[in-house]
Amino acid sequence: MAARSTIMDANSFRSEHADRLDLDTRKLTDRRDELLGGSYRLFYRNPVHLVRGEGQYLWDANGTKYLDMYNNVASIGHAHPAVVEAVHTQMKQLNTHTRYIHERILDYTDSFRNTLPDYMDPMDFKAMYVCTGSEANDLALRVAKSFSGGTGLIATTEAYHGNSELSSGVSPALGAGQPVGSDVWLIEAPDAYRTGEADIGAWFARRIRDTIADMAESGVTFAGFIADSIFSSDGVLPGDYLAEAIDVVHGAGGIFIADEVQPGFARTGDHFWGFANHGVTPDIITTGKPMGNGIPVAGVLARSDVLEAFSGSLPYFNTFGGNPVSMAAAQAVLDVIEREGLQEHARIIGAEALDAFRQVGGRHHQVGDVRGAGLFIGFELVTDPATREPDHALALDMLEELKARGVLTSVAGPFGNVLKLRPPLPFTRSDIPWAADALDESLRVLTARG
């Protein structure tokens, strides 16, 4: 089973699809070809021209309504009025950078630190702000190297952590054309379904330990391990299995960077942070645009002593990282999550959605596994449930059939065969039948089609 890129190429429009497009869409794709760099990708064989969003819903230029089952960036819902108002109000007053004193960044950091789980002391952590998750992970990797004195990094084989020079080097999901960093070791993700391991935590800890030993034999000093705690790009792998592996990381003098761009901010339901499902304490926590509901804001929350190894010797300046407008958006997101009870909502509605999607899976032999935590669900498609052979082609066909039924999502996993079902947090109980029926009907149509 050969792995393939899933972040950019698996669910994308290609030139051979152009002849199937209506005239208006073809004009837009042609304009993109003329005006934009060729590295950009569009979702779907027939791309969607979106013009409006509200909550968990999107509308295209023809007025067709879609259920967004993929977009965690608009974490509290598209065009949330609280974010719109906060940004508008602050923008009318002031927007500048962090080399001037401003209360917004300080007040937000107080709120931000207080979201840490009870077993962690918020006073042990300090924050730095940037504009994107890529920048946050880039900075976190630099901090890890400064603190540890090493350069060796561990990531998983289908990880995605960003597109800067450093963060793309630990992002093999970008595809075969993306070089892995020279001192980066890749290991299999802790996939209990595919490995068949009863104790996936012990299995993964052994992989970490062996990889650190391999680094040492190669003359490379271990710096740290970076992962998002639900391994979303690796196929959505929820659970509570990381503690032993993180003990190995710390025992070897390394740093654990918890990339919370996708599993953080109440997404997994039981906890505000995804890593808290594992009961572990990261040395560095990184966030991305869900922090501001899509406004360009991201953060690094690091243990004070870890951060000091970097900031005590190197100045760092990100011109508009942490600007007052972005901080206003970020504060509005935290306030909405608390006021609207979105973490508990994700826990309850996510469990109901998971049950409904598992019922769909039970009716179709092509569904190998359905797993999730909160509003973050992986729906894995196979050619044969006995062999668990991944079915990439079926997954791509499913995306098109789902879109025809008004449901937007994409794929994940090293074989591009896992539907990543991750709607904005306002996704409601009444949306579950829409999503479940679309999955059921799409599978029936594709089965009949053969």
CATH number of the structural domain 81-339: 3.40.640.10
Output the pLDDT for position 9: 63
Output the pLDDT for position 268: 97
Question: Are the CB atoms for 11 and 399 separated by under 8 Å?
Answer: yes
How much is the pTM? 0.94
HEC readout, the chain: CCCCCCCCCCCCCCHHHHHHCCHHHHHHHHHHHHHCCCCCCCCCCCCCCEEEEEECEEEECCCCEEEECCCCCCCCCECCHHHHHHHHHHHHHCCCCCCCCCHHHHHHHHHHHCCCCCCCCHHHEEEEEECCHHHHHHHHHHHHHHHHCCCEEEEECCCCCCCCHHHHCCCHHHCCCCCCCCCEEEECCCCHHHHCCCCHHHHHHHHHHHHHHHHHHCCCCEEEEEECCCCCCCCCCCCCCCHHHHHHHHHCCCEEEEECCCCCCCCCCCCCCHHHHHCCCCCEEECCHHHHCCCCCEEEEEEHHHHHHHHCCCCCCCCCCCCHHHHHHHHHHHHHHHHCCHHHHHHHHHHHHHHHHHHHHHCCCCEEEEEECCCCEEEEEEEECCCCEECHHHHHHHHHHHHHCCEECEEECCCCCEEEECCCCCCCHHHHHHHHHHHHHHHHHHHHHC
CATH 3.40.640.10 region(s) of the chain? 81-339
Cβ-in-10-Å burial (0-12, 13-18, 19+) of 35 comes to exposed
pLDDT band, very low/low/confident/very high, at 8 (cuts 50, 70, 90)? low
Output the pLDDT for position 30: 82
Is pLDDT of 68 > 80? yes
Is pLDDT of 6 > 70? no
> What integer is the mean pLDDT of 232-250?
97
Is pLDDT of 197 > 70? yes
Residue pLDDT, tens place only, 76-134: 999 999 999 999 999 999 999 998 999 999 999 999 999 999 999 999 999 999 999 99
CATH level 2 (architecture), domain 15-76+342-449: Alpha-Beta Complex (3.90)
CATH 3.90.1150.10 region(s) of the chain? 15-76+342-449
pLDDT band, very low/low/confident/very high, at 7 (cuts 50, 70, 90)? low
Is pLDDT of 182 > 70? yes
Query: Exposure pattern of 300-324 as b/e (b: 16+ CB <10 Å)?
Result: bbbbeebbebbbeeeeeebebbbbb
Residue pLDDT, tens place only, 340-391: 999 999 999 999 999 999 999 999 999 999 999 999 999 999 999 999 999 9
What is the rounded average pLDDT for all residues in the chain? 94
